[in-house]
Amino acid sequence: MSKKTKNKKVILVLGATGDIGSCIADLLEECGMVVCRHGRTGEYSADVKDENQTKKLVNQVINRFGKIDGVINVLSAPAKIGSFESKNWDDFLEQFNVQLKAVVAVTKLVVPYMKKQKKGRIINILTSYTIGLPPSGLSDYVTSKYAVLGLTKSLARELGKYNITVNAVSPGFIKNRFTKNVPEKLGELLISQTPLGRLTTADDVAKVVEFLCSDEADFITGENINLSGGQVMD
């Protein structure tokens, strides 16, 4: 590790090639952090559903920088709208494998290093559906997000004594490539139901994540931060 990066926070962003992940990575870099951008391609490429590739990814970060200060999980499997009766267990497993199994695997690998450092940040990006009324047709997707929320709270309880904070950010509906086929009228309806008069953006998410990575958030853990402009209220 060079002298330039020695005093900088090293953050691994899982799913950094997506709209939200890339926005988070960009902002963290602008704020002086070293960001390792995970994706299917690129320098930190890995299929995190594969145990060997996951180990290789984490070792790659550790071998290069000697530490890992934070992990931001922006992983998400494509959501398929359909009634509960139309879905099968494989649909649920696909969501669990990406949004839960992968997070468990990566977190388990990085926690020992964070313990040695006596500090760390783990942040999971969820959805406002974990707070408000979930939509119809996304039972597998929503269930997996709730599972990651449960993991977030459990880890916050267990890892707090090591000065490792674990939090979640739950954004509202965001216009991006994954939601491009959603009818325009739905976006208009959500805006009309939002007190702040607009939809959530990837930049909104990035700003909250940057705060949670900062020293100002040292005493925040086990939280699920609702980021929907008031469209969903806890």
Residues catalogued as catalytic: 141
Alpha carbon separation from 222 to 13, 113, 117, 149, 233 (Å, rounded): 19, 20, 20, 9, 18
Whether 113 contacts 57, CB under 8 Å:
no
What does 88-153 look like in DSSP terms, one character per residue? -HHHHHHHHIIIIIHHHHHHHHHHHHHHHHT-EEEEEE--GGGTSPPPTT-HHHHHHHHHHHHHHH
Q: Cite the beta strand spans of the chain per DSSP E.
A: 10-14, 34-39, 44-45, 70-73, 120-125, 164-171, 224-227
Cα gap 12→59, rounded to integer Å: 12
CA 136 to chain centre: 23
Among candidates 27, 16, 24, which has minimal Cα distance to 61? 16
